[in-house]
Amino acid sequence: MKTQRVLVGLLCLLVVPPLLTGYLGADDKKKLKDDVCGGADPESTCSEPNICGSGGAVCEVDIKRIGGNSASATPSSPNHKSNQAFCVKVGTTITFKSTSKNTGFVLDFGHSSPFDSGPAIVGGANRPISVVAKKPGCYTYSVGACTAGTVYGMCGDDKAQIVVSNK
């Protein structure tokens, strides 16, 4: 039974994320609650309470599978809700991780990413990924999370946004 769980976990981390990357691309039909990037000045939404990693704090984003077919990205900045747009300053190190047991994740930035890591970030509960925000702008990305050992709704996905500011 333990071997079977390990195999399912490996399958989730090695095979499912590349599949999700194509599935979660720009044509995804899920809508954002608040489209910050669609506004005239996304950086105007950035203030001290919603800047992740401000004041010397570490910026961590917790990725989870929620419900049957959704996922969430929740930054460590105060008063943030899941999948709510958040801000970082250029040069900030962001650690994407999952505090949920047996969970793998993929973040797909499509053709434009604020990081030099490429268009997709793949990690999991035992594999946090740290990247440095380098390119200012507003980015919409897909969040995918898979939990090994579940029968129904093994993976979930959603959209989120990040504003990378020079200010």
Average pLDDT over residues 61-87: 87
At residue 96, the pLDDT reads 96
Structure token pair of residue 162: 């990040």
Q: What does pTM read for this prediction?
A: 0.78
pLDDT at 12 over 70: no
The answer to whether residues 44 and 138 touch, using CB atoms and an 8 Å cutoff, is no
The dihedral sign for the CA sequence 34, 38, 40, 43: positive
If you average pLDDT over residues 41-47, what whole number do you get?
88
For residue 11, give the nearest of 19, 157, 73 by alpha carbon. Answer: 19
Mean pLDDT of 135-158: 87
pLDDT band at 27 (very low <50, low <70, confident <90, very high): very low
Structural domains present in the chain: 2-165 (2.60.40.420)
Section 42-58 average pLDDT: 82
Mean pLDDT of 25-40: 69
Question: Over pLDDT 90: what percentage of the chain?
Answer: 47
**CA distances (Å), 49 to each of 33, 60, 77, 133, 137, in order?**
20, 15, 7, 19, 19
Contact of 165 with 146, CB cutoff 8 Å: no
Q: Is the confidence at residue 50, as pLDDT, over 80?
A: no
DSSP run (H or E) holding 167 = none
